[in-house]
Amino acid sequence: MTRSMQAVTYRRPSVLEPAAGGRRLGLETSRGATSSGVQDHPQFFAGFLTTPQVASAGLLAVADVAAARYYQQLRASLDPVVTGNGDRLRFESFSGCGGVYARLDVLSAGLDGGEVGHGTTNVDVNNPLREALSRIGTDDPLHLRVGPEELAVTTLDGPVVEKKVPLPDRWLRGFAEAQVIAADFELRAELPAAEAVRFLRSLPRGGARGASGGARWVVPAGRGLRPTTRAVPGAVCLPGPERLIALQRVLRHATALRVYGPAATAAAVASAWEVVLPGMRLTLTLSPDASRGFSGEGGVLDALVTDEAAEDAELISVLLAWEPRIDVTDLAAASGLPEARVRAALIRLGTSGRVGYDPAEAAYFHRELPYDAERVERHNPRLRSARALVAAGAVTMDGGLATVTAEDGHAHRVRDEGGVLSCSCLWWARYRGGRGPCKHALAVRMVRRGAGERVGSMTTVDGGAR
């Protein structure tokens, strides 16, 4: 796994402290992007939370996922990412193993007395703060500040708090893949509070690390969900149910549970589990298997092979404006591009963390990850390998059939079957397109679309290329 060290710097630790008439929660921010440019410690909100105990539990759940390793024992813990979208605050995290994506949306109904800014950065969630948040009572008024106090904004001296954490490429690629996968989700079930609590409390709490019980499915039955042994029509895949444990934090505050996923197939697929809370939503998106992170799903690869998509993404990026709900039709009208090209551009922007997708609103949203997320494309092994094959002249076209000669001299046949490219390689035989195109099919797409002329310095095949 490729990693670098990411330095996340805060002016001081986040803290929960007494205040006149209640408490104050100060969440310290790191360097991040805003509507007025990059700032070292931006402020996105200063006001009250309408349901302090619920918000505290939701924030702890997001932090739980950031610190969790549901498959491999890896040493890393990234602070959650916070985005101000003008009408809400979004707190996001990924598990270290890359298989669980968590997001807490604190909506306008959950905030009071302050305007929400625009931008994205990390927010410090340290162990003393976690302990303090777990003790928040139902009657405690809570003032929330996301970012430094106004006086601290202009103060450049004094100590800083710096955390250095490993930043895996697969974690960044996971952000990109999760939004592509979620864009195909539909609402499959909605449970009222009592049934939601009963179902979630019935799930296993965990097992041996690294173990995988295979795919499971549930199907709507009356007001609840019941397990089923196969993917019957209307079923939702529940891969690694023990990974929903972070939802236990908020169960007593739940008003409903919504389940999202694609149409049921025999193969395991991802799904999203959203707990509806007063003034907010907590969503966990699970990869198709506990041993399978989002980073290898390959859903973004087709959007990365054309220069047209890159140019479209550059145009669309200036129109995003930190919108909490990105309307594809409006973007198409504003940009003059067809909706299909707008969607492809959004996928490409997602590869650098600039958009996410919210199944609850069936819409993209704008954010800017506070990392060097452009390396998601540069370090994608299949994409690098495909560019190298094109640069080496390894692709020979013959109508609907192409021959791709691999580095070891073995020839692979790539066929066009109704617009879907199949391949004779082991990758295709194993996944049948379920984890995106193989490097040979990608190379054929590049040649077809004329993307192979400008491979530049990106043609080197590094270790890990598939």
pLDDT in tens, 141-191: 899 999 998 644 333 345 567 887 777 767 777 887 888 889 889 999 999
Q: Which of 240, 269, 292 is the last residue of a domain?
A: 292
Q: Over pLDDT 70: what percentage of the chain?
A: 83
Same domain, 155 and 231: no
pLDDT in tens, 194-253: 999 999 999 887 654 444 456 789 999 999 999 998 888 889 999 889 999 999 999 999
Say what the pTM is. Answer: 0.81
Residue 344 tokens, joined: 């492809």
Amino acid identity of residue 183, one-letter, is A
Could you tell me if residue 41 is inside a domain? yes
For the ranges 104-118, 416-430, 445-459, which has the lowest average pLDDT?
Answer: 445-459
For the ranges 36-40, 237-241, 374-378, which has the lowest average pLDDT?
Answer: 374-378
Could you tell me if residue 96 is inside a domain? no
Position 364 scores a pLDDT of 93
Q: Which of 375, 409, 427 is the last residue of a domain?
A: 375
Biggest CA pair distance of the chain = 77
Range of the domain at 145: 7-91+105-165
Interior angle at CA 187, CA 177 and CA 246, nearest 5: 65
Instruction: In whole angstroms, give the CA distance from residue 433 to residue 354.
Output: 26
The confidence band for 386, taking pLDDT boundaries of 50, 70 and 90, is confident
- Cα-to-chain-centroid distance, residue 162: 25
pLDDT in tens, 294-343: 765 555 566 666 667 778 888 898 899 899 999 899 999 989 999 988 98
Q: Total structural domains in the chain?
A: 4
Nearest alpha carbon to residue 173 among 347, 420, 367, 362: 347
- Does residue 282 carry a pLDDT above 90? yes
Interior angle at CA 295, CA 445 and CA 301, nearest 5: 15
